[in-house]
Chains A and B, each alone.
Chain A
């Protein structure tokens, strides 16, 4: 069974804080993704990585950065949290492919920025 874990289920931070969200997958997947999910907007891609130390911007990268130092771990960083970054953050991984492979999602981190 593929397992994707995220460091926290719930997180509350203050405006201006630096926030780290961690994601780990145990299936040796090449690709990892960070999405945010907001009501009525579905899942929107923030960043993805197709290999260690490789990263690509998704559709809404502003205000975020990522790090992938090891194959199994993909971190999302909010350099200076703002209230409009309050959201559910979902990490996913897939074996390979051009967006055709099944994505396996973690349980999500609900981030509230006050």
Chain B
């Protein structure tokens, strides 16, 4: 079957750096995306990696290693507003995307 694995919960302090890992096992691979969802809100797109390496967007970076079927989201200079759930997602082809179960990030003061 197809699956994406990510930790269920991560806790970090304000100002710190946190890494959320995602490993995937899918029949097709058309890129790894990350979405953020605050409680009661809609998921919103954060980043996308089609090729190996690091993509940086402000405080957020995302990394992909296709040979290891692995990626991560790196959040720097954590702020309280970063407390949310983060989902990795893989485009598997045929217009379909598979989402991980999500990682709940708690940022403490």
Number of interface residues of B (CB under 8 A): 28
Interface of B is mostly: strand
Q: 29 A–B contact pairs at CB < 8 A?
A: A31-B95, A33-B97, A40-B101, A42-B4, A42-B87, A42-B102, A43-B87, A43-B99, A44-B99, A48-B95, A56-B94, A59-B98, A90-B42, A97-B91, A98-B30, A98-B93, A98-B95, A99-B30, A99-B31, A99-B95, A99-B96, A100-B30, A100-B50, A103-B35, A103-B43, A103-B97, A104-B45, A105-B42, A105-B43
Please determine whether B95 and A56 come into contact, CB atoms closer than 8 angstroms.
Answer: yes
Bound complex: CA of A45 vs CA of B96, how far in Å? 8
Binding site for A on B (CB under 8 A): 4, 8, 30-31, 33, 35, 41-45, 48, 50, 87, 89-102
